Amino acid sequence: MLASLVNSASISNFNNFKISLPGSTPSDVLYGLFQCRGDLASSDCHHCVAAAVSRLGTFCVGTSGGALQLDGCFIKYDNASFLGGQDKAVVSDKCGPSIGYDSETLSRRDAVMAYLTGGGGQYFRVGGSGNVQGMVQCVQDLSVSECQDCLSEAIQRLRNECGTSSWGDMFLGKCYARYSERGSYSSSSKSGNDDEMEKTLAIIIGLIAGVAVIIVFLSFLSRSLDRKGEK
């Protein structure tokens, strides 16, 4: 599954998978998906998913499922089906420092959020007004109406919880919304050495996952041939 996510991210910004072995039961099926931010180039999407997979492989050892949201991408896998299902539970929310009651900035923020809410069926939307910028995105296994519903919830929570903050992020299970006063949003950036380390780790994990799949397939093939020989 993890190898499939990384490989697919080199040609697409979204994909989902359902993986099972021949003869397996429904409980043995594994579901997974990845999605990159809508403005990322293919190479950046691939790099982000590879970095996410390398971290998830460390955080979720021996578990039947896991999910990780980075700034530019989201990945999830589980042995219980979640594809196409709504999820408006709050995963993460962050608010910046208060700017006080700056009526112009707050009015612009509300206008940007209203514009992004009515995005005409697009899964990724950006907008801005004056010194305020905004961005929203849904996971693309949702329908257009489900996406709209999820974003409405995220934006309403963002307004309620971040109030007069200069920036805010609201990540729900299947969508997120964010806004920032220009220049106020702070996000840690990685050095070139860290980027290279993430690439290396992702390649190693991808190879390990690929080898594991080959071993399982060869084992199954060997058993099948043995059964035929016994007949």
The tens digit of pLDDT for each residue in 45-91 reads: 999 999 999 998 788 887 888 899 898 999 999 988 899 889 999 98
Q: Cβ of 51: how many Cβ atoms within 10 Å?
A: 24
Q: Categorize the per-residue pLDDT at 220 as very low, low, confident or very high, splitting at 50, 70 and 90.
A: very low
pLDDT, tens digit, for every residue of 87-130?
999 988 999 998 888 788 888 988 999 888 876 668 999 999 88
Q: Do residues 73 and 45 make contact, with C-beta atoms less than 8 angstroms apart?
A: yes
Q: Does the pLDDT value for residue 207 go beyond 60?
A: no
DSSP state of 98: B
CATH T-level topology, domain 1-83: Killer Toxin P4; Chain A (3.30.430)
Query: Which range among 23-27, 121-125, 151-155, 186-190 has the greatest average pLDDT?
Result: 151-155
Question: Would the CATH topology of 1-83 be identical to that of 90-181?
Answer: yes
* Whole-number pLDDT of residue 23: 73
- Percent of the chain scoring above 70 in pLDDT: 77
Give the strands of the sheet with 132-138, arranged side by side.
90-95, 167-172, 175-181, 132-138, 124-129
The residue ranges of every structural domain in the chain are 1-83, 90-181
Q: Is the pLDDT of residue 211 over 60?
A: no
Q: Give mean pLDDT, residues 207-227.
A: 44
Most confident of 19-28, 147-156, 193-202: 147-156
Query: Over the stretch 14-40, which tens digit does the pLDDT of each residue have?
Result: 999 999 877 777 668 899 999 999 999
pLDDT at 226: 53
pLDDT value, residue 153:
94
Strands (E), the chain: 14-19, 30-36, 65-69, 73-78, 90-95, 124-129, 132-138, 167-172, 175-181
3 state SS of 30: strand
Q: Average model confidence (pLDDT) for the chain?
A: 79
Q: How confident is the model at residue 208 (pLDDT cuts 50, 70, 90)?
A: very low
Coil vs helix vs strand at 94: strand
3-state secondary structure of 140: coil
CA 164 to chain centre: 27
Third-level CATH fold of 90-181: Killer Toxin P4; Chain A (3.30.430)
Between CA 74 and CA 129 the distance in angstroms is: 27
